[in-house]
Amino acid sequence: MKSVWWIKRDFRISDNQCLDEASKQSSTLLPFFCWEPEILNHGDYSLFHLQAQMEGVLGLYKSLKKRGLISRVVMGNIVEQLETLFKLYPFQAIYSHQETGNLISFNRDNTVRKWCIARGIKWIEKNPSSVMRGGNADQRRLKLRQSDFRKQKPLAIPVFEQLKSVPQPLAKAPLSWGELTRAVPKFSGSNQNSSLVKVDEKSALETLASFLENRGIGYAGGISSPNSAFESGSRLSSHLAWGTISLRSVFDQLDKRRVELKDDHDRSQWNRSLRAFESRLFWRDHFIQRLEAFPELENKALNSAYADLIYEDDLSNLDAWVNGRTGYPMVDACMRCLQECGFLNFRMRAMVVSFACYGLHLSWKTIHEPLAGMFHDYEPGIHLSQLQMQAGVIGFNAIRVYSPRKQFLDHDPNALFVRKWIPELRDKTPAEIAHADESFIDGYIPGIVNLKDRSQEMKNRVFAIRKSASAKKTTQKMLKLHGSQKQKKPQRKKTSPKGQMTLFKTLRSGKT
């Protein structure tokens, strides 16, 4: 059988079910990657993603070539490219991994499916996760009781010796950075960014090894601060998002490391950290399942009760937020850091979203694309779920409004992070920085909004919906379909330390 492996976000040769099965079931196999203008031109796709994918394609192309497999990398409409290929190389099957992506990739897959049916081609989609095709969290839960794919043993790198060679003229080498940026006007003339994580299989394995051997001991506690999370966090998010490592391989290595640590004198600290890490890994598929169940998540609130929540969406506020010029140092430092490094820890991501939605009254829809573009590890299912959760429009999660001042005092008390990203504040003391939003500091702007009043206003709007009978009904339904098994009980309010913002008195969670 002549086959094509359509490479999507799975730039790896180890634990790759498509490559494994296709190489066993086919007489000839052509790895094929297509740069799709519709995806490249979409608002959620950025230069960071272009660089990530270019590195992913190149790394994979080289590994396959070393093993005697030639690949074809093209640019254009996927169906037209498949049609051209089919005329040159009449294949019977396409292997690809099952993707849960944005609406463009969802619709694109439907078009490819129709084309395959019309041409009599078998499209074999392999599921690289525990996400259930077309299912929701409730259905996935039942399936997971029987077996959990994530805990199965990863596949080894396949051998390709038995495969017949694909005719040489089919080979097409990966496009260079210059070719890619010239082909997409919005990226024209842009340079690569050396601050980004390198997206290839070798770097993914090295990152996992350094985390499990050394860095991971500081995970519990370390991931809350932007000063330590770059080191104490696994930093696997870009690799998992672009598929340079499989989730199953990460779980496998984690289990092996736990055995090794049995006699380690730091084992209790390691265990605490690895447990916390593992729970995050488990969250991945839970959130991606939400997008799988509700493909319109980028346009619509999961909970329809919040569809008409009013946001002013002032574009000058959006511009200030995106460019780190809001006058709130912790928010500005985070946004400037994101612009440069494409990474931020969970807590700070949640804070910048909360600030945008509650403080600036920007809708989660308005900030979705700029923020997705700034995340090098952009994973639509996690991103959109978190965005709606932090905006408070899911309905069944506690509403958390993060105080940038509290985050600064708790997680950057010596102002290392803020001073690094905001040169205007380099000679200011932490106390001055904590109150920068209400001061006039030469070269830095005072807060562009009164956060206390604005947040209260937005909370009132959200709570007004939340309290309504119709919203309560929809929320119950959403909770069953999309909630996790254990919903957190509302926690009792903690007393805010003296001098910190006492904005959030009505909050049901004190963890902000």
Instruction: Give the interface with ligand FAD as residue ranges (CB under 6 A).
Output: 223, 233-237, 240-241, 277, 280-281, 283-284, 287, 345-346, 349-350, 353, 375, 377-379, 382-383, 386-387, 390
Of residues 29 and 357, the one with the C-beta less far from ligand FAD: 357
Nearest approach in angstroms of CB 95 to ligand FAD is 24
Nearest approach in angstroms of CB 375 to ligand FAD is 5
Of residues 26 and 273, the one with the C-beta less far from ligand FAD: 273
Nearest approach in angstroms of CB 266 to ligand FAD is 19
CB-nearest residue to ligand FAD: 233
Nearest approach in angstroms of CB 350 to ligand FAD is 4
Nearest approach in angstroms of CB 297 to ligand FAD is 12
Phi-psi region of 134 (alpha: psi -120 to 50; beta: other; left: phi over 0): left
Of residues 180 and 351, the one with the C-beta less far from ligand FAD: 351
Give bridge partners of residue 29 from the DSSP assignment: 3
Of residues 399 and 436, the one with the C-beta less far from ligand FAD: 399
Of residues 149 and 283, the one with the C-beta less far from ligand FAD: 283
Nearest approach in angstroms of CB 66 to ligand FAD is 28
DSSP H or E stretch at residue 97: strand 93-97
* Contact residues for 399 (Cβ-Cβ < 8 A; gap 6+): 392, 459, 462, 463, 466, 507, 508, 509
CB 355 within 8 A of CB 333: no
Nearest approach in angstroms of CB 324 to ligand FAD is 17
* Contact residues for 94 (Cβ-Cβ < 8 A; gap 6+): 3, 4, 5, 6, 82, 112, 116, 121, 122, 123, 124
Angle at 228 between CA 224 and CA 231, to 5 degrees: 120
Angle at 512 between CA 230 and CA 215, to 5 degrees: 20
Nearest approach in angstroms of CB 391 to ligand FAD is 9
CB 61 within 8 A of CB 174: yes
Amino acid letter, 351: M
Amino acid letter, 393: V
Nearest approach in angstroms of CB 437 to ligand FAD is 22
Nearest approach in angstroms of CB 347 to ligand FAD is 8
Q: Around 462, how many Cα atoms within 13 Å sit in the side-chain half-sphere? A: 30
Q: What's the sign of the alpha-carbon dihedral 340, 342, 347, 351?
A: positive
Residue 123: count other Cβ atoms within 10 Å of its Cβ: 16
Of residues 21 and 377, the one with the C-beta less far from ligand FAD: 377
Of residues 61 and 378, the one with the C-beta less far from ligand FAD: 378
Nearest approach in angstroms of CB 321 to ligand FAD is 13
Of residues 236 and 305, the one with the C-beta less far from ligand FAD: 236
* Contact residues for 331 (Cβ-Cβ < 8 A; gap 6+): 321, 324, 351, 352, 355, 404
Of residues 175 and 479, the one with the C-beta less far from ligand FAD: 479
CB 273 within 8 A of CB 217: yes
Of residues 377 and 412, the one with the C-beta less far from ligand FAD: 377
Residue 64: count other Cβ atoms within 10 Å of its Cβ: 19
> Using CA atoms, how far apart are residues 21 and 464, in angstroms rounded to an integer?
53
Of residues 353 and 436, the one with the C-beta less far from ligand FAD: 353
> Using CA atoms, how far apart are residues 370 and 426, in angstroms rounded to an integer?
27
Residue 441: count other Cβ atoms within 10 Å of its Cβ: 18
